[in-house]
Structure 1
């Protein structure tokens, strides 16, 4: 079985920035144990596995080095980018979109002049008091607002400097019952982005994620309500940094709210995975964890 492999920097148009993701293009489904071994070997926060599409749809799964997750934004962006490159190499007709069948339902990636557009379910946070010890574990001042999405705690702190200065205690954070913690603040008016954020998820083996698409499914609705705009730009202020452009469409009646995330990608490595799906380490059993 020949397996094309890509290492892609997502949510950036410059090498060595954004969020790196591995992508394997599979001719057929592979065992979860093998995929978990590959993700651990690659060592990126996520590795995506795409079963080569038949027509418009393709199956997609995501693995951190320790767990399978049910949603990952940057690895979906990387998967869409890598799939188009793979199909160009095989002289397939250039596609304008792909629908990924995932554990979070059908996710559409559309290729546009403004970059790849991902259509994800919104994950709007609701107000909630943070549990005892969470603010101290994040090393932040008292938040302006705190709340919980389906996946994460979201803490709005007073200034972007508070976001950048945070140095969370990862051991302490890993004890809280949450996928992760989002820190965010409004950007100054002269900035080219509307808000900044950082994201910490030690419970799923990712102490700090460089750029987190799924976190922007909560950040988009939150900042739309605060700023009164449906088109926003977020900057994730990790050491690598990355930009996520957001559009929040009005949902049709009786439909779930969606978030459109736009981003660019850089291909860093392209090659062929050598270890076949029957080459699996004995301790590589995949665990199911929340999305990233």
Structure 2
């Protein structure tokens, strides 16, 4: 059987930057074991699997090379972008994705993909191992969230200099660690995300992490809108808006590859 698959760079409009995701629109049901094998073969931070259930309704699942995850921003953006550019769904229509994190609504707004995601609550507390510094860089604030930690560094320059030892990160984290800092005249906040226990040493641009980062920075500074930059080697950016218990995430995408898998 042949399965169509595309690779899309999310949170960017420049090829070979942002966060690449593989997107597979399934012609019918596929066992989760098969999805995991495909995700391992694609070896990207996430592979998204879509199954159409209505004109603009889809089941959506996300897999890293090692496990299924509950929420993924860039692969959701990539999935919606693929559905629009391949004209599976008209650009004027809103898409509903049925996921492990509930129904996610996504639409096209002036050339950008706007996603309606759940807010991820954070709790101010010190990390049991990385309490004062993170691989030589001073920590000035920290918070926990489900499966992850946020560590705030003094400046975006220090954030960019961090060179983690991934075996230590894996020992002292569940899913991963988000590092963040205040931004500059270009962006309100900077961040990076490390998740060796998910099979992703460093994720290029992470939508779900920003559902927690906007909670962290809102509690710290009261902001409800942020221009965010993720300072990985591939780099990417997004716009965030906090609305109650939801987060609107806006970003762009570009298609890189399309083909078929023989399964």
Q: Determine if the TM-score, normalized by the shorter chain, exceeds 0.5.
A: yes
Bigger CA drift: 95-104 or 60-69? 95-104
Unpaired runs of 5+ residues, structure 2, are none
Question: What do residues 37-61 of structure 1 show as CA deviations (whole Å, max 9, x unaligned)?
Answer: 1111111110000012412320000
Q: How does 1:151-190 map to 2 (within 5 A)?
A: 151-188=147-184
Q: Secondary structure at the match of 2:96?
A: strand
Residue 239 (structure 1) aligned with residue 233 (structure 2): yes
Question: What do residues 127-176 of structure 1 show as CA deviations (whole Å, max 9, x unaligned)?
Answer: 1111125665x314331111101231101110111100111110011112
Aligned to 2:258: 270
Bigger CA drift: 115-124 or 6-15? 115-124
- Bigger proportion of residues as strand: 2
Runs of 4+ that moved beyond 4 A: 92-95, 133-136
Aligned length: 263
Kindly state the Cα deviation for residue 87 of structure 1 after the two structures are TM-superposed.
3.0
For the 8 Å contact 2:22–2:47, the answer to whether it is kept is yes
Aligned to 1:28: 28
For the 8 Å contact 1:4–1:86, the answer to whether it is kept is no
Unpaired runs of 5+ residues, structure 1, are 252-256, 277-292
TM-score (norm: length of structure 2):
0.94
Match of 1:98 among 88, 95, 99: 95
Bigger CA drift: 62-71 or 14-23? 62-71
Match of 1:110 among 107, 131, 135: 107
Between the aligned partners of 1:116 and 1:37, the Cα distance in structure 2 is: 29
Kindly state the Cα deviation for residue 225 of structure 1 after the two structures are TM-superposed.
3.1
Q: How does 1:1-292 map to 2 (within 5 A)?
A: 2-88=2-88, 93-133=90-130, 138-188=134-184, 191-249=185-243, 251=244, 257-273=245-261, 275-276=262-263
Q: Secondary structure at the match of 2:206?
A: coil
Between the aligned partners of 2:247 and 2:149, the Cα distance in structure 1 is: 19
For the 8 Å contact 2:57–2:97, the answer to whether it is kept is yes
Kindly state the Cα deviation for residue 86 of structure 1 after the two structures are TM-superposed.
3.0
Kindly state the Cα deviation for residue 95 of structure 1 after the two structures are TM-superposed.
4.9
CA RMSD of aligned residues (A): 1.7
For the 8 Å contact 1:140–1:157, the answer to whether it is kept is no
Question: What do residues 226-280 of structure 1 show as CA deviations (whole Å, max 9, x unaligned)?
Answer: 333321111000000000110111x2xxxxx11111010000012222x23xxxx
For the 8 Å contact 2:129–2:172, the answer to whether it is kept is no
Between the aligned partners of 2:216 and 2:90, the Cα distance in structure 1 is: 39
For the 8 Å contact 1:233–1:246, the answer to whether it is kept is yes
TM-score (norm: length of structure 1):
0.85
